[in-house]
Amino acid sequence: METNDAYRAAKRHVERKIGFAIHLSVFVLVNAGLILTNVLVTPNKVWAVWPLFGWGIGLLFHGLATYLHGPGMTWKNRMIEQELKKNHASH
C-alpha cells in the first residue's frame, strides 16, 4: 500500500513540475511578445513591465509551491491523511 501512495505522490509532484514548466514557457513567450509590441508600437511609453511584473508574482508563487516543501506541505499532508482515514472509516 505504501508503494502505491509513494507512486501517486511522485506522480503528482512530476505533474506539478510539468505544469510549472508549461506556465514558465507561456510566461516567457507571451511577455517577449508584449515587450516586442511595446518597443515597436509605443517605444516612448513603457507599459509591458506591468503585465510582466503581475504575472511574474503569480509565477513566483507557482514555482515556490512546486519546488519548496516546507512546514506547510507537512501540515497539508497530515490533513489529507486525516481525511483519507475519515473517509475510509465511513465506508
Q: 60 vs 6, 13, 24, 52, 86, CA distance in Å?
A: 27, 17, 10, 12, 34
pLDDT of residue 71: 56
pLDDT in tens, 71-89: 556 677 778 888 888 887 7
Contact 55, 34 (CB under 8 A): no
Q: What is the pLDDT of residue 72?
A: 58
Chain segment 19-60, per-residue pLDDT in tens: 999 999 999 999 999 999 999 999 999 999 999 999 999 999
Q: First CA to last CA across the chain, in angstroms?
A: 18
| Cα separation, 40 vs 37, whole angstroms | 5
| Grid cell digits, residue 34 | 508584449
